[in-house]
């Protein structure tokens, strides 16, 4: 029986949606600026809405197909695990939960993107008043995304667990959120880097145009990409990890806790996330109240405040959970409370480690900038090496968190550490969505001719946004890896195997692990090649416009923005299909051929290699980007020098690393883990789960 304290999460989710709508109202009432600014913002909004509209049509087909597959071909938990043979046996529970999860992810992504494209020009105009005004508008715009993500997640999971009384149905909700997140993150990442790479290679490297120069035909497409990739895409990514972490902990509680207290531990992850949301809301208001003229300091202050408030509120609600419980269960509650704090602390460490390896005032990025003096090849080698080194500290952090959480309460403790890492995700997503808003604001300030002083103010906001995005990516990678480890534990419990029972000397297990190690590499390659192919088309189009119409470069005629937006839109939607399909098909095929133990080894191999690829690509790409920007600030000769051109090469390589392939691996790992669990009933039909290749 699910205890009434679940209502904490439901109420927190409803408040979150209400506050998101309130912040939307606050942002929209601000001054959008002059006519030119409104015009540019309109181009960005139109491009983003066009892309999302086409993408959602594709997603509707994808969701409908998977809905039918789950409904007709997956055994239902509530009919004894048999294949559906009659209408009454159809798997309505998980099919409906899947559709709701998919819809929730799409709604959260759209709401955040909609406010993002409205907030950009208003943040630019706010900079004419002062840094704090511009910051407040951008941050509240980003908060809409953060609060929408968490609110939709908590409302959806709370209602489903309340209605069906079993977390196995919530698994369908998580699978829906994850499958949509994969499309959003991959598609948005390909879109934004297609435009960004094309704009840099031609506009900067060949024609020495400034960043966001309105003469560059790819400028608007690049701004659109910030919204569909970094707001809608990253929001869906963290929505996916957030829900998956809750589901993994709930499944483990249902499997491991016996007796009357089971219901309390099933909802404990939800209660903790509800408390984290309350802490995030308080933190957001405190940023408004205590904010400073330093945007970076304000963002970090919000994170620290939310962390401290969450620790205090978490203790209070954990105490409430213990009322009436047996002493043995009271001890278990407190063990998991400490595991939650451990996960949160390790998430902050991982995030700020990413910050160290990507900030332009730190040694790694500075050394990469100096390496650019030696040429293109050397700056690539330097970034590659520092990217690999940056894998080590987060790995140590996750190992320590996992080890200590396991000591506290076994695999359930590890799952709760993953929940803790994402407990203040409302703050994390708000900080992340702030980044692309101020990036767009800086572009609109330049195109709206607000003057050098206002552009410098917007640059300060943008610089803080770049740092916030680096921290968020590190946070997301760490959270995704702890989450998929928890999902792996819940998978083995559901499959009736133990991790110790996954014997690497068994050839089927070894093959599964080997395939798992390879999949993140294949997935990354497909996404990088997608950017390369589409960027080549973008480069050709920009060159064509400049050559056929010299008046564009003179500023006498406007570039054809619609053509570059069309290239980015069609190319990204076409290219995301194959990576999305393999994330679902390969785990099922591995499970059918090599059994549930082979699939468990497959997941373990993918998690380990995926972590390395994700951290390496995200941090190397961020450092290359900031090394270039540091040079553009007038260091080492500044813009137009050979050093600058070498740094542009590094940034061009790093763009698909940090904004396309790297972050998308997080979603890949979650989708594959959830696929393994939700298709478990089907896999058990093949020789009792031993697979077709029985030796």
Domain boundaries, the chain: 4-689
| pLDDT value, residue 404 | 93
Average pLDDT over residues 379-390: 94
CB 454, CB 171: distance < 8 Å = no
d(CA 458, CA 467): 15
d(CA 586, CA 415): 25
- In this predicted structure, the answer to whether residue 86 has a pLDDT above a threshold of 50 is no
| pLDDT value, residue 611 | 92
Provide the token pair at 363.
């040694």
Average pLDDT over residues 275-283: 90
| pLDDT value, residue 77 | 52
**412-421 tens-digit pLDDT:** 999 999 899 8
Q: What is the DSSP string of 13-32?
A: HHHHHHHHHHHHHHHHTS--
Least confident of 47-61, 120-134, 211-225, 669-683: 211-225
Q: Cα 625 from chain centroid?
A: 19
- In this predicted structure, the answer to whether residue 87 has a pLDDT above a threshold of 50 is no
Average pLDDT over residues 447-472: 80
**476-489 tens-digit pLDDT:** 777 778 888 888 88
As a whole number of Å, the CA-based R_g of the chain is: 24
CB 188, CB 235: distance < 8 Å = no
In angstroms, the Cα distances linking 669 to 189, 292, 438, 488, 588 are 17, 39, 30, 10, 14
| pLDDT value, residue 296 | 75
d(CA 469, CA 323): 41
N residues, the chain: 695
CB 488, CB 600: distance < 8 Å = yes
Average pLDDT over residues 662-677: 88
d(CA 180, CA 110): 12
**102-124 tens-digit pLDDT:** 988 888 788 878 888 889 899 99
In angstroms, the Cα distances linking 603 to 513, 545, 571 are 7, 47, 30
- In this predicted structure, the answer to whether residue 89 has a pLDDT above a threshold of 70 is no
| pLDDT value, residue 81 | 45
| pLDDT value, residue 514 | 95
Rounded to the nearest 10°, the torsion over CA 292, 297, 303, 307 is: -90
| pLDDT value, residue 389 | 94
Mean pLDDT rounded to a whole number for the chain: 85
Q: What's the number of CA atoms in the CB half-sphere (13 Å) around residue 573?
A: 18
Average pLDDT over residues 326-344: 90
Provide the token pair at 483.
């989450």
Question: Per-residue confidence at 616, pLDDT binned at 50, 70, 90?
Answer: very high
Residue, of 573 and 296, whose pLDDT is higher: 573
Q: Best-predicted range by mean pLDDT among 69-83, 222-236, 673-687?
A: 673-687
Least confident of 12-21, 245-254, 334-343, 681-690: 681-690
Average pLDDT over residues 612-620: 91
What does residue 450 show for φ and ψ, rounded to 5 degrees? -80, -10
| pLDDT value, residue 1 | 61
d(CA 478, CA 472): 10
Average pLDDT over residues 360-386: 92
Provide the token pair at 537.
């088309």
Question: Per-residue confidence at 188, pLDDT binned at 50, 70, 90?
Answer: confident
| pLDDT value, residue 403 | 92
Percent of the chain at pLDDT exceeding 70 = 96
For residues 219-229, one letter each, b for 16 or more C-beta atoms within 10 angstroms of the residue's C-beta and e for the rest, the string is bbbbbbbbbbb
- In this predicted structure, the answer to whether residue 332 has a pLDDT above a threshold of 70 is yes
Outline where DSSP puts E strands in 385-469. none
In angstroms, the Cα distances linking 682 to 70, 72, 176, 247, 462 are 10, 11, 18, 20, 49
**37-83 tens-digit pLDDT:** 988 888 888 888 888 888 888 888 889 998 998 888 776 554 444 44
- In this predicted structure, the answer to whether residue 88 has a pLDDT above a threshold of 70 is no
State the pTM of this model: 0.87
Average pLDDT over residues 187-194: 86
Provide the token pair at 630.
């540091």
d(CA 528, CA 324): 55
CB 233, CB 185: distance < 8 Å = yes
| pLDDT value, residue 338 | 95
| pLDDT value, residue 79 | 43
Closest CA to 522 of 609, 462, 441, 458: 609
Average pLDDT over residues 213-224: 83
For the four alpha carbons of 307, 312, 315 and 321, in that order, the dihedral sign comes to: negative
- In this predicted structure, the answer to whether residue 251 has a pLDDT above a threshold of 70 is yes
d(CA 250, CA 248): 5
In angstroms, the Cα distances linking 560 to 209, 546, 549 are 17, 10, 10
């Amino acid at each position: 029986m699910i205890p009434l304290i679940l209502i904490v999460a439901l109420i927190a989710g409803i408040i979150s949606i209400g506050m998101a709508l309130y912040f939307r109202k606050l942002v929209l009432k601000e001054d959008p600026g002059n006519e030119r600014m409104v015009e540019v913002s309109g181009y960005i909004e139109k491009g983003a809405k066009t892309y999302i509209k086409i993408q959602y049509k594709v997603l509707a087909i994808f969701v409908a197909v998977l809905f039918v597959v789950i409904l007709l071909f997956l055994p239902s938990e509530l009919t004894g695990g048999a294949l559906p043979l009659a209408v009454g046996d159809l798997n309505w529970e998980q099919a409906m939960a899947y559709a709701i999860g998919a819809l929730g992810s799409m709604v959260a992504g759209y709401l955040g993107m909609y406010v993002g494209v409205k907030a950009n020009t208003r943040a630019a105009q706010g900079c004419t008043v002062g840094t704090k005004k511009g910051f407040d508008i951008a941050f509240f715009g980003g908060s809409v995304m953060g609060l929408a993500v968490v609110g939709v997640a908590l409302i959806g999971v709370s209602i489903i667990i309340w209605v069906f009384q079993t977390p196995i149905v919530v698994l369908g909700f998580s699978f829906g959120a994850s499958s949509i997140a994969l499309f959003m993150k991959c598609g948005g990442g390909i879109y934004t880097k297609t435009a960004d790479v094309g704009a840099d290679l031609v506009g900067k490297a060949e024609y020495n145009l400034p960043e966001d120069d309105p003469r560059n035909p790819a400028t608007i497409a690049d701004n659109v990409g910030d919204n569909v990739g970094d707001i809608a895409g990253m929001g869906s990514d963290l929505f996916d990890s957030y829900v998956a972490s809750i589901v993994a902990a709930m499944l483990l509680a249902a499997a491991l806790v016996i007796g009357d207290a089971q219901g309390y531990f099933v909802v404990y992850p939800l209660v903790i996330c509800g408390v984290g949301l309350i802490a995030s809301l308080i933190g957001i208001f405190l940023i408004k109240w205590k904010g400073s003229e330093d945007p970076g300091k304000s963002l970090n202050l919000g994170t620290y405040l939310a962390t401290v408030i969450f620790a205090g509120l978490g203790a209070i609600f954990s105490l409430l959970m213990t009322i009436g419980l047996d002493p043995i269960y009271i001890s278990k509650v407190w063990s998991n409370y400490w595991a939650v704090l451990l996960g949160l602390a390790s998430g902050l460490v991982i995030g700020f480690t990413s910050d160290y390896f990507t900030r332009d005032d730190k040694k790694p990025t500075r050394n990469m900038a100096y390496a650019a003096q030696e040429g293109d090849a050397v700056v690539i080698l330097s970034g590659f090496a520092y990217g690999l080194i940056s894998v080590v500290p987060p790995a140590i952090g996750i190992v320590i968190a996992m080890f200590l959480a396991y000591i506290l309460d076994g695999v359930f403790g590890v799952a709760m550490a993953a929940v803790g890492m994402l407990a203040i995700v409302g703050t994390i997503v708000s900080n992340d969505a702030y980044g692309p808003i101020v990036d767009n604001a800086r572009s609109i300030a330049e195109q709206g001719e607000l003057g050098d002083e206002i552009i410098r103010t917007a640059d300060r906001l943008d610089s803080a946004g770049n740092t916030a995005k680096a921290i968020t990516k590190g946070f997301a990678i760490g959270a995704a890896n702890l989450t998929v480890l928890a999902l792996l534990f819940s998978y083995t419990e559901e499959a009736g195997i133990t991790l110790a029972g996954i014997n690497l000397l068994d050839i089927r297990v070894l093959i599964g692990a080997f395939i798992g190690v390879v999949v993140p590499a294949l997935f990354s390659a497909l996404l990088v090649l997608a950017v390369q192919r589409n960027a080549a088309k973008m480069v050709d189009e920009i060159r064509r416009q400049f050559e056929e119409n010299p008046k564009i470069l003179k500023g006498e005629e406007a570039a054809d923005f619609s053509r570059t937006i069309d290239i980015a839109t069609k190319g990204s939607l076409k290219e995301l299909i194959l990576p999305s399909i393999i994330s679902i098909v390969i785990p099922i095929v591995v499970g059918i051929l090599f059994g549930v133990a082979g699939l468990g080894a497959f997941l373990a191999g993918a998690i380990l290699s995926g972590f390395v690829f994700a951290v390496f690509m995200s941090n190397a790409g961020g450092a290359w980007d900031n090394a270039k920007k540091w040079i553009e600030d007038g260091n080492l000769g500044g813009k137009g020098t050979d050093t600058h051109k070498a740094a542009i090469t590094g940034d061009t390589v790093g763009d698909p690393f940090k904004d396309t392939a790297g972050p998308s691996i997080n979603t890949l790992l979650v989708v594959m883990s959830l696929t393994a669990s939700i298709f478990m009933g089907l896999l058990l039909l093949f020789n009792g789960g031993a697979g077709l290749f029985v030796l």
